[in-house]
Amino acid sequence: MTHPPPRQSVVEIMNPKTVAFVGASEDQRKFGGRIFYNAFSLGFPGTIVPVNPKRESLFGLPCVPRVSESDHKVDLAVIAVPRDLVLDHIEDCAKAGVACCCVITAGFTEAGDDGAALETQMVALARSHGMRLIGPNCLGLINTHAGLIMNSSPSMQDSGHEPGGIGFISQSGALMATVYNRGVGDGARFSSAVSIGNQADLELADFLEWMAEDDATRVVTLYVEGFKNPARFVAAARRCRDAGKPVLMVKSGRSDEGARVTMSHTASLAGSWRVLEAVCREAGVVPVDDVNGMMQAAEMISRHGRPTGDGICVITGSGGAAAITTDRFNDVGLRLAQFSPETRTKLEELYIPMQLGNPLDLGAMKSRSFIDVDDGGLGIAAADPDVSANLIIITTGPQMTKSAQTLAEGAKATGKPSLVVFTPGSSSDGGREVVRDLDMLSYETTDEALRVLKTWLAPINGGTDPQRPAGLVDGDPFAGHGDGWLPEHKVKSVLAGYGMAATREVAVTDIEAAIVAAGDIGWPVALKGFGADILHKSDEGAVALEITDAEALRVAWNAMADRLGSRLAGCLIAEMASGEAEVILGIQNDVQFGPMILVGLGGVLAEVLNDVILLPAPVHPDRVAERLRDLRLWPVLEGVRGRPALDVDALAHAAARLSWLAMDAGARLQELDINPLFLRSAGDGLVAVDARARISG
């Protein structure tokens, strides 16, 4: 069915000139009363139309019984009436030419089949008239730059609404208001905030796309429970990334409970949260585990933009605090700036020679006094080219308020981003007030500040766009193959079309053919059984190695046939291969985000080691090489304790070619393992020893 085009874009919806409130009242116990009063009392500059058939006016504004009876052309209508009345008002708004309805009322899809049916009717009705919907089951939206505080939470009256650079999209209405209120209290300034509710029509990606283009928004924050359109979310996030806007996200439901049971190594290693993390990393989304911490970090980004480096200068009044902070930096992967000889020389005028490093301890100053320390040499240290930000940790001491003020003013004068931590309790309240007056970012614990720094420093560049390598096969790589698990030799034949080197081998169904094949390949050989339900060969006794002659092959064959019985469809006679490390390379087709490439340390201990990286397909080999450094056992690939450096370049290119196999096969390829893949010394390449794949129609 063809629908008329939308009456307004999201840009226009977020900047309405006239807003109608269906269900408006003076009763602040009701959603309709609160959202109407919030918009009215907090200074919406446009026209407000209260809709209430039982009142002639509300707060001095004339009421109408229905939107269609207003003399004004309504851009946005807020619906906050009982569920059974919603559809009637949606129809009235649609026929009246309203561009968008924001449905606060709950009780739709989230409430069961009856509610879902009503929601479907509502969407169909709106779309048939080119009208958009926000919600239902939401709390509204905010655009501080347009003076629009259209949210039904009572906390809006207690929250400041100074325009800022943080965009916030939340699937939870109550959490949106809570985080907004707490964020403002912590110094965050929002450009906009949207509660999307059930996403019946306009969804997360619609508002994310808008924020990518919105000049007022410098950083985007998300609270997500699920994705309506994962591919569109990724594309919108990349638009933000390309616009230089980091996207911070808290995602609930991160555990793998309820995930489907699989039989491949790749699938067991690529849990749902791990997949999402990998997708986010490439799309420029930074996962965060706490909503309040997300807003603290967002304000840091909004104020100071992206970092120019990763060195942090720390100054504190306590040697103990300095030592603990140093340990915590190491724990969370942050780096203390290394002062240059020139900086150290200048600091020698202020500090004891043995205490010239970073962190700077005010107790180690030559004056041996916490009074009149000026900026404690922070101006000198912060000027060092390795310093990208300052961290000031306030501890107890004499004249704390004056000391905090001097340090904060000194930090602000450096022109570099600065964070202040107050570790004492009430004794540092004066310092807190001073720092607030200076409009600086402050925190109650060192870990809060470190979390902000860690998020601020997180990379948002997904790397080089992949290009399809030359020489790959065209079309469906699994054409002609039936559903289910494919035998190893058939998988390897597909891999060969994507440039994957594999062991020489022959598939046979009787021992005499096996002996002939072994003679052709050359002794010693490996014997590997295959069958429809033989998946983990080594676990099931379907592998025999280093077979040196015909008699040994005959014995191994018979023993395997006895163990596996009718499950054994045949055997592979394969050359014995070797390498410096066993690697796993695989494909997992995620139900939401499509094919993912997995690379890591493999062999029979793949799940035990659990040392892998995931990348969404397709991927550029340079990006694979870059991400391989995230492996805990990267030193093994790089060469450690006299061992040779391994052919990482060959591995990166193999993973990239495999990613195009994943793209070509599409959803038909459910999962694929190459394990083990023997990786050889640099320049000597690699060889696939074992492989399996599961395909569906």
pLDDT at site 602: 83
Structural domain range at position 194: 141-246+284-305
Does any domain span residue 350? yes
Taking only the tens place, the pLDDT of each residue in 353-370 is 877 889 999 888 887 555
Cβ burial of 577 (10 Å; 0-12, 13-18, 19+) is middle
Task: Give the pLDDT score at 258.
Answer: 36
> What's the DSSP call for residue 64?
B
Q: Is residue 463 part of a domain?
A: no
The tally of domains found in the chain comes to 5
Please identify, among 575, 590, 625, the residue that sits at the C-terminal boundary of a domain: 575
Q: DSSP label at 19? A: E
Tens of pLDDT along 632-642? 989 999 988 87
Token pair belonging to 671? 């999962």
Last residue of a domain, one of 554, 575, 596: 575
In terms of domains, do 156 and 292 share one? yes
**Which position has the token pair 């930000």?**
389
What is the residue-averaged pLDDT of the chain? 91
Residue 539 is part of a domain; what is its CATH number? Answer: 3.30.1490.20
Mean local confidence (pLDDT), 604-626: 89
Residues 293 and 155 in one domain: yes
Query: Is residue 375 very low, low, confident or very high in pLDDT (cuts 50, 70, 90)?
Result: confident
pLDDT confidence band for 263 (50 / 70 / 90): very low
Q: Where are the alpha helices (DSSP H) in 73-158?
A: 83-95, 113-127
- Say whether both 51 and 121 belong to one domain: yes
CA–CA distance, 665 with 476 (Å, rounded to integer)? 6
pLDDT band at 254 (very low <50, low <70, confident <90, very high): low
- Confidence check: pLDDT of 646 > 50: yes
Mean pLDDT throughout 339-358? 90
Q: For residue 394, what is the DSSP state?
A: E
Residue 632: give its domain's CATH number. 3.30.470.20
Please check whether residues 414 and 537 belong to one and the same domain. Answer: no
Q: Per-residue pLDDT averaged across 522-541, rounded?
A: 89
Helical residues (DSSP H) of 393-497, grouped into ranges: 400-413, 429-437, 446-457, 488-496
HEC-encoded secondary structure of 136-152: CCCCEEEEHHHCEEEEC
Average pLDDT of the residues in 120-147: 96
* pLDDT number for residue 264: 47
Instruction: Name the nearest CA neighbour of 143 among 151, 131, 152.
Output: 151
Assess whether 129 and 201 both reside in one domain: no
- What's the pLDDT at 266? 46
Structure tokens at 380: 């000198």
Asked whether residue 160 is assigned to any structural domain, the reply reads yes
Q: Is position 320 within any domain?
A: yes
Q: Is 48 left (phi over 0), alpha (psi -120 to 50) or beta?
A: beta
Residue 294 sits in the same domain as residue 372: no
45 plus 115 within the same structural domain: yes
How high is the pLDDT of residue 399? 78
| pLDDT tens-digit readout, 229-246 | 999 999 999 999 999 999
Q: Is the pLDDT of residue 398 over 70?
A: yes
* 407: CATH: 3.40.50.261
Domain C-terminal end among 117, 137, 157: 137
Residue 23 lies in a domain: yes
Distance CA 294, CA 179 (A): 10
Same domain (yes/no): 538, 555? yes
CB atoms within 10 A of CB 367: 12
Residue range 605-633: mean pLDDT, rounded: 91
Q: Are residues 102 and 145 in the same domain?
A: no
What band does 672 get if pLDDT is binned at 50, 70 and 90?
very high
CA-to-CA distance for 138 and 135, rounded, in angstroms?
5
Q: What is the pLDDT of residue 366?
A: 82
> Does 476 fall in a domain?
no
Q: Which pLDDT value is given to residue 158?
A: 87
User: Contact, 357 vs 325, CB < 8 A?
Assistant: no
| Lowest-confidence pick of 16-25, 269-278, 409-418, 451-460 | 269-278
Q: Where are the beta strands (DSSP E) in 516-580?
A: 525-530, 543-547, 570-575
Q: What is the rounded distance in angstroms from the CA atom of residue 545 to the CA atom of residue 575?
A: 10
User: What is the rounded distance in angstroms from the CA atom of residue 426 to the CA atom of residue 437?
Assistant: 17
195 and 128 in a common domain: no
Q: Measured on CA atoms in the order 62, 66, 69, 72, is the torsion positive or negative?
A: positive
Q: Are 42 and 34 in contact (CB under 8 A)?
A: no
Q: 174 and 294: one domain?
A: yes
Ranges 269-278, 311-320, 435-444: which has the least confidence: 269-278
The answer to whether residue 40 scores a pLDDT higher than 90 is no
| 474 domain residue, yes or no | no
In a domain, 253, yes or no: no
Q: Indicate if 525 and 420 belong to the same structural domain.
A: no
